[in-house]
Homo-oligomer: A and B are copies of this chain.
Amino acid sequence: MSGRPLDVLEASLDEPVTVSLKDGTAFFGVLAGYDQHMNVVLEDAADAPTLDDALGDLDVESVEDTTIIRGDNVVAIKA
């Protein structure tokens, strides 16, 4: 699971991830897609985010529908 950033995203497809954004929010969902700009597509995860999904002190919101996040908002993606 080591490797270049986009390799990690490729390996995380169909897995739950937490995406923290520059505005201080964070989204939790299944990684359904991505591109080279780190634009990502999240889909509803069957399970709710757990404490382990937290990124520092951020509250994490579960996505409920297919959601595209533009890559230039992303701070970190926890795979």
List A residues at the B interface (Cβ < 8 Å).
1-9, 14, 21-23, 25, 27, 32-35, 38-41, 43, 52, 55-56, 61, 63-79
Could you tell me the distance in whole angstroms from the C-beta of A46 to the nearest C-beta in chain B? 15
Main secondary structure of the interface of A (DSSP, over half): mixed
Query: A5-B35, A5-B68 are known contacts. Are A75 and B78 too (CB-CB below 8 A)?
Result: no
Tell whether, in the assembled complex, residue B39 and residue A75 are in contact, meaning their CB atoms are under 8 Å apart. Answer: no
Cα of A27 to Cα of B6 in the assembled complex, Å? 19
A57 CB to closest chain B CB (Å) equals: 9
Distance (Å) between the CB of A52 and the closest chain B CB? Answer: 8
The docked-state distance in angstroms from the alpha carbon of A75 to that of B77 is: 15
